[in-house]
Amino acid sequence: MERQKIKNILLNGETGKQVLVKGWVRTKRGSKNVNFIALNDGSTIHNLQVVADVNNFDETILKEINTGASLSVAGKLEESAGSGQRVELIAETIELLGKADPEKFPIQPKKHSLEFLRENAHLRFRTNTFGAVFRIRHAMAFAIHNYFNEKGFYYLHTPIVTASDAEGAGQMFRVSTLDAKNPPLTKEGEIDYSQDFFGRPTNLTVSGQLEGELGALALGEIYTFGPTFRAENSNTTRHLAEFWMIEPEMAFYDLKDNMDLAEDFLKSLIKYALDNCSDDLQFLAGRLKEEEKNKPQEQRSMDLIEKLEFVLNNDFVRITYTEAIDILKNSKTYKKKKFQFPVDWGVDLQSEHERYLVEKHFKRPVILTDYPKDIKAFYMKQNNDGKTVGAMDVLFPQIGEIIGGSQREENLEKLENRMREMNIPVEEMWWYLDTRRFGSVVHSGFGLGFERFILFVTGMGNIRDVIAFPRTPKNAEF
Ligand code: 4AD
Ligand code: MG
């Protein structure tokens, strides 16, 4: 008999039909005569109830059916009276595939803290919460490719190992095969990278954008979707050292076109989640409600599904950085000196400022544009005021910055000047500048932090809980 997925059985299984399922035991309850086994195979958040008449099975097998054990069960589907589901499986044969010692298996059928589950990240997929998170993460990755494919964007695989610093922030992990203890030295006593694997210093990429621009200026519209690495020592619930970023880059788009795409993109992903992940979202919404029970009313967040619908159905606010600074300076929070970080034209906004704008002031997503040039990357389009650049950050409730992007400076001379001012190696970047030498055009792009977006969709509170195996300062277990 061919194995069937539990998801399909619960949706379409016909009573009276013989089926074969395989999965892991979530719980077992029993009376003298029957055992009820909740079996999960990862295809859905719901378990299939397996009913085993104890008289039909070897006692030694029944004893081994503990939480975490794996089974293959064949039997007949029957209408289910008590399980809350349409059908249940009356077991005829049960094969124990793998035991799980109840004294040792860490994931017991009780509430575990997220911290505990992080320490057991290799097994946390076996919980309802992480099953839901990773099914949604998959669905969102699929929806992203689908969205761009339908719009005629090409998926470009930009390199992971690179010799350039795309963001010019110097937060890179070095890639080297030199002997760390005894590296070859130049006459001047510096490390001799000419003897390194690539014959020069190389790093893990912080962004695929620069190579993405090369693609866009020929293919028209491209996107990257890959891992990016940042050696910033930020131990927050929003930062990872290894995260995934989606970076579309579009020829002939100005800043307004860029904002329109970002808003449409985010909304279409949220719609996909609402349309296709409702079981998992409902579970996570319930989980969030439970978690927030103990918080005072005013600190509780909106119901997860309502929040997603709200973002889907409302226009994002679009204002400039300068306008945002005015709003912040006029806020009660500022006047009562309740912001931890300073608010002055020219400072980089902190997450507390971003969240004030989104959660308190506008109560919806905000796109901030035209930031001071000194707090943004070298490649951004220089505005005529000489002070600001055509940047756009999309700010989301609970998250703060979820997208960072800009129109790009397409004028060779202006770009070179800015690079010199910011000590970006102009000669080494000859290949990037060639796009401005040959057939340069207005173009724009942005980067969506995939995990920050998954945080938003799942309502989880810590970025370590939406990536399978998080990499953070002092942590690379698993
Ligand atoms: O704002 P960032 O640094 O922009 C870029 O890298 C541009 N090259 C993007 C582009 O225009 N093509 O990063 C983009 C997004 C942020 O808005 C944030 O969502 C996410 O990437 N991000 C991180 N996510 C998790 N951990 C980190 N350490 C992150 N740093 C940035
Ligand atoms: Mg940014």
CATH number for the domain harbouring residue 105: 2.40.50.140
Could you give the CA distance from residue 72 to residue 53 in angstroms, rounded to a whole number? Answer: 16
Pocket of ligand 1 (CB under 6 A): 166-167, 207, 209, 230, 239-240, 243, 245, 247, 401-406, 445-447, 449, 451-452
Q: How many domains are there within the chain?
A: 2
CATH code of the domain in which 344 resides = 3.30.930.10
Residues 428, 308 share a domain:
yes
Cα 448 to averaged position of ligand 2 atoms, centre (Å): 10
Confidence of residue 169 (pLDDT cuts 50, 70, 90): confident
Count, residues in the chain = 478
The pLDDT of 27-56, averaged and rounded, is: 96
Query: For all residues of the chain together, what is the average pLDDT?
Result: 96
CA angle, residues 225, 238, 472, in degrees to nearest 5:
80
Contact 381/409 with Cβ under 8 angstroms?
yes
> How much helix, strand and coil, in percent to the nearest 5, is found in the chain?
35, 25, 40
Q: Residue 189: which region, alpha, beta or left (left: phi > 0; alpha: psi -120 to 50)?
A: left
448 alpha carbon, closest ligand: 1
Question: Which residue, judged by its Cα, is nearest atom 20 of ligand 1?
Answer: 449
Could you give the CA distance from residue 79 to residue 383 in angstroms, rounded to a whole number? Answer: 68
For 185-227, how does the pLDDT look when each residue is reduced to its tens digit (9 = 90+)? Answer: 999 999 999 999 999 999 999 999 999 999 999 999 999 999 9
Cα 447 to averaged position of ligand 2 atoms, centre (Å): 8
**Does residue 40 sit within a domain?**
yes
Contact 231/471 with Cβ under 8 angstroms?
no
- Residue 341 pLDDT > 90, yes or no? yes
Residues 140, 34 share a domain:
no
Query: What ligand 1 atom has the least distance to the C-alpha of 405?
Result: 11
- Probe target for ligand 1 pocket from 206, 211, 243, with the most ligand atoms within 8 Å of CB: 243
What is the full DSSP assignment across 242-278? EEEEEEEEEET--HHHHHHHHHHHHHHHHHHHHHH-H
Query: What ligand 1 atom has the least distance to the C-alpha of 166?
Result: 8
Residues 421, 315 share a domain:
yes
Cβ atoms within 10 Å of 467's Cβ, excluding its own: 21
Residues 450, 358 share a domain:
yes
Cβ neighbours of residue 182 under 8 Å, at least 6 residues apart? none
- Probe target for ligand 1 pocket from 214, 233, 452, with the most ligand atoms within 8 Å of CB: 452
Query: What ligand 1 atom has the least distance to the C-alpha of 212?
Result: 12
Question: Which residue, judged by its Cα, is nearest atom 27 of ligand 1?
Answer: 239
Confidence of residue 81 (pLDDT cuts 50, 70, 90): confident
Share of the chain above pLDDT 90, in %: 94
371 alpha carbon, closest ligand: 2
Cα 232 to averaged position of ligand 1 atoms, centre (Å): 12
What per-residue confidence (pLDDT) applies to 166?
82
Residues 164, 82 share a domain:
no
Cα 130 to averaged position of ligand 1 atoms, centre (Å): 24
Cα 38 to averaged position of ligand 1 atoms, centre (Å): 41
Confidence of residue 179 (pLDDT cuts 50, 70, 90): very high
- Residue 82 pLDDT > 80, yes or no? no
Residues 139, 72 share a domain:
no
Contact 229/161 with Cβ under 8 angstroms?
no
Angle in degrees, 0-180, between the axes of helices 430-437 and 209-219, rounded to the nearest 10: 30
> What 8-state DSSP symbol labels residue 299?
G
Residues 134, 94 share a domain:
no
For residue 318, the surrounding DSSP H or E stretch is strand 317-320
Residues 150, 44 share a domain:
no
**Does residue 476 sit within a domain?**
no
Place of tokens 């159905």: 313
Contact 305/281 with Cβ under 8 angstroms?
yes
For 373-417, how does the pLDDT look when each residue is reduced to its tens digit (9 = 90+)? Answer: 999 999 999 999 999 999 999 999 999 999 999 999 999 999 999
Confidence of residue 294 (pLDDT cuts 50, 70, 90): confident
Name the residue range of residue 14's domain.
Answer: 6-109
Cα 167 to averaged position of ligand 2 atoms, centre (Å): 9
Cβ atoms within 10 Å of 131's Cβ, excluding its own: 19
Residues 23, 166 share a domain:
no
Could you give the CA distance from residue 2 to residue 14 in angstroms, rounded to a whole number? Answer: 16
For 229-281, how does the pLDDT look when each residue is reduced to its tens digit (9 = 90+)? Answer: 999 999 999 999 999 999 999 999 999 999 999 999 999 999 999 999 999 99
Residue 418 has, within 13 A of its CA and on its CB side, a CA count of 25
Residues 258, 226 share a domain:
yes
Residues 158, 35 share a domain:
no
Is the pTM here over 0.95, yes or no?
yes
**Does residue 187 sit within a domain?**
no
**Distance from the Cα of residue 447 to its chain's centroid:** 12
Contact 112/287 with Cβ under 8 angstroms?
no
Contact 277/136 with Cβ under 8 angstroms?
yes
Question: Which residue, judged by its Cα, is nearest atom 26 of ligand 1?
Answer: 239
**Does residue 83 sit within a domain?**
yes
Residues 134, 79 share a domain:
no
CA angle, residues 88, 89, 95, in degrees to nearest 5:
145
Cα 304 to averaged position of ligand 2 atoms, centre (Å): 25
**Does residue 118 sit within a domain?**
no
